[in-house]
Amino acid sequence: EREREREMKEMKLNCSIFFMKLLVTQCLVVLCVSQDFDFFYFVQQWPGSYCDTKQSCCYPKTGKPAADFSIHGLWPNYRDGSYPSNCDPDSPFDDSKISDLTSRMQKDWPSLTCPSSDDLKFWGHEWDKHGTCSESLLDQHDYFASALDLKKRLNLFQILKTAGIQPDGEFYSLESIKDAIKEATGYTPWIECNVDPSGNTQLYQIYLCVDTSGSNIIECPVLPHGKCASKIEFPSF
C-alpha cells in the first residue's frame, strides 16, 4: 500500500514538472516571437529622384516604370533605432512562392539599379535582409503581399497631387509635404532626401511606420537619422 502511495506521489510530481516545463517553453516561444522586432518602416521611393543623381539608373527589363512612387521595402525595426538583418540564411528567396504577385510587383516594386534586371535580385535582397527577420509572423508570400497592399492603400502620388505638390521640377516646402501626407493618412511621415547632379536637395523616399502585423499604420516610435533642406525639389520622371 505504501509503495503504491509512493508511486502515485512520484507520478503527480512528474506530471507537475512536465506541465511546468511545457508552460516555460510556451512562454519562451511567445517571448521570442514578440522580441523579433517592434515595428516596420514601409518605405516608398520616387524614381525620378533615384535616377536624377550622378549614379543614374537603369530601367528594368519590363521597361520604364510608371511615374509613381514605388516600394523600396518593408523593414523590421526596433524601438531603440537599431534593426535586425539577414535573420535566416536557411530561408532563401524563392520566386515560385510569389508567382501570383509577380505582375503587381513588377509594377509597384521595380528595380532601378544597373545593369537592367528582371527585379528578382532586388526582391531577393529585400527578403534575405529584411523579410527573414519577420518570418515568425509573415511568411515569404505574406511579406510581399503585405507591402503591396500597403502601397495600394497609401497612394502617395495622389495624396501629394491633391495638395498641389507635383513632380514638375519645382521646389516645395518640406513641411507642406509632411502635412499633406499626415492629413491624408493620419500619421506623420519621415522624408529622406538625396542630391541631384547640380547639388539640389530632392524628395527621395517617404517612410511610414506599420505594426508587426504588416497591416496597420502607426506613429513611428523612432525616426531614422538624416535631414532635408526646408525646401526640396520634386523632380519629374
One domain, residues 3 and 55: no
One domain, residues 69 and 1: no
Q: What is the CATH number of the domain that holds 184?
A: 3.90.730.10
One domain, residues 25 and 46: no
Range of the domain at 178: 37-233
One domain, residues 20 and 10: yes
Three cell numbers at 215?
497591416
Percentage above 70 pLDDT, the chain: 85
One domain, residues 23 and 103: no
Q: Write down the pLDDT at residue 3.
A: 59
One domain, residues 55 and 140: yes
One domain, residues 2 and 49: no
- Round the average pLDDT of the chain to a whole number and report it: 90
Determine contact, residues 171/131, Cβ cutoff 8 Å.
no
One domain, residues 78 and 189: yes
Quick one: average pLDDT of 128-142? 97
Q: How many domains does the chain have?
A: 2
One domain, residues 18 and 89: no
One domain, residues 156 and 84: yes
DSSP 68-122: S-EEEEEEEE-TTS-------TTS---GGGGGGGHHHHHHHS----SS---SHHH
Amino acid identity, residue 137? L
Cβ neighbours of residue 57 closer than 8 Å, sequence gap 6 or more: 47, 50, 51, 112, 113, 114
Three cell numbers at 51?
535616377
pLDDT for 30-81, tens place per residue?
334 334 899 999 999 999 999 999 999 999 999 999 999 999 999 999 999 9
Quick one: average pLDDT of 84-103? 97
Positions annotated as catalytic residues are 72, 126, 130
pLDDT for 186-236, tens place per residue?
999 999 999 999 999 999 999 999 999 999 999 999 999 998 999 999 999
Determine contact, residues 151/217, Cβ cutoff 8 Å.
no
pLDDT for 97-109, tens place per residue?
999 999 999 999 9
One domain, residues 19 and 95: no
One domain, residues 194 and 152: yes
Determine contact, residues 47/112, Cβ cutoff 8 Å.
yes
Cβ neighbours of residue 160 closer than 8 Å, sequence gap 6 or more: 166, 177, 180, 181, 234
